[in-house]
């Protein structure tokens, strides 16, 4: 479906009950011409950028004046912020030097000066710009910090670096409330992320078109098992390869690992090399990235044509690739962690796994039980339709705005 000929809400009306659309419009009417600013670190790569490029147009269509801004920073800052990401997700071995701490806070001042947030609702995404609020001496509008990562068990030094800022915000949003147990705040909301079902990555694709796309990279003579994710230790790509090696002894398959290299992720290139080395030139392990011309439409095709999709994360704030796969009615096996557990009901619409051996066992089960795999795919699609589409995400933001304005 093309959005060129239809408004975003008209497009949603083609897949959802009109009552859902009307409910959203009614809530949005209270915020007509109110301004909303989203701030994050990058316009490209990763789930946050993907959500915002879809959310801002929908808010604008609802007559809310939404804008999205990023700040500029030296590459050295993104090395610090990647360390911060890993530390907040629980890496206790990370230590920040005095210079790194100083540079982190100096960049926050610079980010504030570049953007000067003054909207009715200023939504600051993730740790990179979090301390910006310290520069807002005459705070204009409501300020909300939106955390997209799993901070249930953070590195103490990293948590200390952001916690002083958190108490200055009017509200905090976490994907799951359990991530916020250490947060110094009374107003904490659980708002999970979402997908846009009409984006290039998620829109309907005829099977013939999907096959033409996938065949450019991989023959279609064997079942395909795919993981789409950043090349990152938390996504356990080496464990995925180990699971593949167990499965291929019993059932020939091809493993496809697809990742995008983002501007704010200097670790990505290093991990891409690690994954390629670990694959040991196995012709049935295909490793692809945006450097190979693999973008949204290619991901869409792979997610549709794969027999099984994996997201074998060790930590996962949410896992939009899980959402994408379930939306496409492909059975998904995910790590039994974080936000993946919000999406997959184990044994009903997918499988949750803790080990490499369990991952291999569930892949084999789905390969041998295509009828059950199809049922799981259908159930997964329904769960995403009801809970994790962009329209529901915006509605949850409007509910928070309502609370903040009372």
Residues 359, 334: Cα–Cα separation, whole Å: 8
369 — pLDDT class (breaks 50, 70, 90): very high
When divided into structural domains, the chain yields a total of 2
Question: What pLDDT, on a 0 to 100 scale, did the predictor assign at position 265?
Answer: 66
375 and 303 fall within a common domain: yes
Q: Which of 145-154, 323-332, 365-374 has the lowest mean pLDDT?
A: 145-154
57 and 168 fall within a common domain: yes
User: Does 201 map to a domain?
Assistant: no
Mean pLDDT of 363-389: 98
263 — pLDDT class (breaks 50, 70, 90): low
40 and 167 fall within a common domain: yes
Q: Per DSSP, what are the bridge partners of residue 119?
A: none
268 — pLDDT class (breaks 50, 70, 90): confident
Per-residue pLDDT tens for 288-318?
998 899 999 999 999 999 999 999 999 898 9
119 and 214 fall within a common domain: no
Residue 387 reports pLDDT greater than 60: yes
Burial string for 323-356 (b: 16+ CB within 10 Å, else e) reads: bbbbbbbbbbbbbbbbbbbbbbeeeebbbbbeeb
182 and 231 fall within a common domain: no
User: Does 200 map to a domain?
Assistant: no
239 and 156 fall within a common domain: no
User: Does 92 map to a domain?
Assistant: yes
User: Does 2 map to a domain?
Assistant: no
Question: What pLDDT, on a 0 to 100 scale, did the predictor assign at position 2?
Answer: 42
User: Does 199 map to a domain?
Assistant: no
| Residue 297, C-beta contacts closer than 8 angstroms, at least 6 positions apart | 200, 201, 205, 213
Per-residue pLDDT tens for 320-352?
999 999 999 999 999 999 999 999 999 999 999
Q: What percent of the chain shows pLDDT beyond 90?
A: 87
**Average pLDDT in the chain:** 94
Residues 351, 372: Cα–Cα separation, whole Å: 12
Residue 75 reports pLDDT greater than 80: yes
pTM score, two decimals?
A: 0.89
Per-residue pLDDT tens for 6-17?
799 999 999 999
Which CATH number is 290's domain given?
A: 3.40.50.2000
Length of the chain: 406
79 and 89 fall within a common domain: yes
Question: What pLDDT, on a 0 to 100 scale, did the predictor assign at position 32?
Answer: 97
46 and 36 fall within a common domain: yes
Structure tokens at 91: 């890496």
Residues 36, 49: Cα–Cα separation, whole Å: 16
373 and 401 fall within a common domain: no
Nearest to 246 by CA among 373, 365, 348, 374: 365
Residue 1 reports pLDDT greater than 50: no
User: Does 72 map to a domain?
Assistant: yes
Per-residue pLDDT tens for 83-120?
999 999 899 999 999 999 999 999 999 999 999 999 99
Angle at 326 between CA 16 and CA 288, to 5 degrees: 130
331: left (phi over 0), alpha (psi -120 to 50) or beta: beta
CA atoms within 13 A on the CB side of 49: 11
Question: What pLDDT, on a 0 to 100 scale, did the predictor assign at position 156?
Answer: 96
214 and 267 fall within a common domain: yes
Question: What pLDDT, on a 0 to 100 scale, did the predictor assign at position 186?
Answer: 87
E strand residue ranges, 175-230: 188-190, 224-228
48 and 116 fall within a common domain: yes
Question: What pLDDT, on a 0 to 100 scale, did the predictor assign at position 5?
Answer: 55
262 and 359 fall within a common domain: yes
Structural domain span for residue 45: 8-194+389-405
Residues 405, 37: Cα–Cα separation, whole Å: 16
Question: What pLDDT, on a 0 to 100 scale, did the predictor assign at position 264?
Answer: 59
For residue 250, which phi and psi values (nearest 5 degrees)? -110, -25
Residues 387, 322: Cα–Cα separation, whole Å: 13
What is the SS3 string spanning 292-320?
HCCCHHHHHHHHHHCCEEEECCCCCCCCH
Per-residue pLDDT tens for 40-61?
998 876 778 889 999 999 999 9
């Amino acid at each position: 479906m093309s959005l060129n000929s239809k408004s975003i809400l008209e497009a949603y009306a083609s897949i959802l009950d009109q009552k859902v659309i009307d409910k959203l419009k009614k809530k949005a009417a209270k915020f007509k011409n109110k301004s909303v600013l989203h701030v994050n670190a990058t316009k490209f790569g990763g789930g946050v950028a993907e959500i915002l490029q879809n959310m801002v147009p929908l808010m604008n269509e609802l007559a809310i004046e939404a804008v999205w801004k990023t700040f500029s920073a030296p590459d050295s800052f993104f090395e610090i912020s990647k360390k911060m990401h890993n530390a907040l997700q629980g890496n206790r071995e990370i230590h920040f030097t005095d210079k790194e701490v100083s540079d982190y806070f100096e960049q926050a001042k610079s980010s504030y000066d570049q953007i000067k947030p003054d909207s009715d609702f200023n939504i600051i995404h993730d740790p990179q710009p979090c301390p910006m609020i310290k520069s807002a001496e005459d705070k204009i509008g409501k300020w909300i910090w939106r955390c997209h990562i799993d901070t249930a068990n953070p590195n103490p030094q990293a948590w200390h670096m952001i916690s002083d800022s958190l108490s200055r915000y009017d509200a905090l949003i976490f994907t799951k409330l359990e991530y916020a147990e250490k947060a110094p705040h009374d107003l904490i909301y659980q708002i999970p992320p979402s997908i846009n079902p009409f984006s290039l990555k998620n829109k309907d694709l005829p099977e013939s078109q999907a096959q033409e796309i996938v065949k450019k990279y991989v023959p279609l003579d064997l079942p395909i098992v795919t993981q789409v994710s950043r090349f990152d230790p938390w996504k356990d790509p080496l464990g995925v390869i180990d699971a593949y090696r167990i499965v291929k002894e019993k059932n020939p398959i091809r493993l496809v690992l697809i990742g995008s290299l983002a501007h704010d992720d200097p670790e990505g290139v290093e991990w891409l090399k690690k994954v390629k080395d670990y694959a040991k030139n196995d012709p049935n392990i295909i490793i692809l990235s945006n450097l190979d011309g693999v973008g949204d439409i290619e991901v869409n095709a792979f997610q549709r044509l794969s027999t099984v999709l994996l997201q074998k994360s060790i930590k996962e704030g949410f896992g939009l690739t899980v959402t994408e796969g379930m939306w496409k009615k492909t059975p998904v096996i995910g790590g039994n962690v974080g936000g993946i557990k919000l999406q997959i009901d184990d044994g009903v619409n997918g499988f949750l796994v803790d080990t490499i051996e369990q991952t291999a066992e569930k892949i084999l089960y789905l390969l041998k039980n295509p009828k059950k795999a199809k049922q799981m795919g259908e159930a997964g699609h329904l769960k995403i339709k009801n809970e994790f589409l962009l329209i529901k995400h915006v509605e949850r933001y409007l509910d928070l705005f309502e609370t903040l304005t009372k």
